[in-house]
Amino acid sequence: MGSVQGTCPKCGAQVREKCNAWVYGSPIRTCPKCKNEFLDKRWREVAIDGFAVGPKSAKLYLGATIGFLLFTIICILWLRNMISTQGSYPTKLVGCIVVGTVGTAGCAVMFLRIITGYEDKQNARYMAESKRRLQDQNYVDKLISFGYTVPDEFKY
Ligand SMILES: [Zn+2]
Residue 122 inside a domain? The answer is no
Give the structural domain span for 63. 58-115
Question: What is the rounded radius of gyration, in angstroms, for the C-alpha atoms of the chain?
Answer: 22
Within 10 angstroms of residue 120's Cβ, the number of other Cβ atoms is 13
Ligand 1 centroid to 74 CA: how many Å? 49
Residue 84 inside a domain? The answer is yes
CA 82 to chain centre: 37
Buried b / exposed e along 13-25 (16+ C-beta atoms within 10 A): eebebeeeebbbb
Ligand 1 centroid to 6 CA: how many Å? 11
Q: For residue 43, give Cα distances in angstroms to 72, 79, 94.
A: 33, 41, 35
pLDDT tens-digit readout, 3-41 = 999 999 999 999 999 998 889 999 999 999 999 999 999
Q: For residue 56, what pLDDT is reported? A: 65
Ligand 1 centroid to 108 CA: how many Å? 39
Q: For residue 156, what pLDDT is reported? A: 74
pLDDT tens-digit readout, 48-107 = 999 987 656 889 999 999 999 999 999 999 999 999 999 989 999 999 999 999 999 999
Q: For residue 2, what pLDDT is reported? A: 84
**Judgement on whether residues 108 and 140 belong to the same structural domain of the protein:** no
**Judgement on whether residues 49 and 72 belong to the same structural domain of the protein:** no
CA 90, 108, 27, 11 torsion-angle sign: negative
Structurally, the chain folds into a number of domains equal to 2
CA 46, 49, 51, 52 torsion-angle sign: negative
**Judgement on whether residues 48 and 66 belong to the same structural domain of the protein:** no
- Mean of all residue pLDDT scores within the chain: 93
Ligand 1 centroid to 10 CA: how many Å? 5
**Judgement on whether residues 64 and 110 belong to the same structural domain of the protein:** yes
Higher local confidence (pLDDT), 2 or 46: 46
Residue 142 inside a domain? The answer is yes
**Judgement on whether residues 35 and 14 belong to the same structural domain of the protein:** yes
Q: For residue 1, what pLDDT is reported? A: 66
Residue 11 inside a domain? The answer is yes
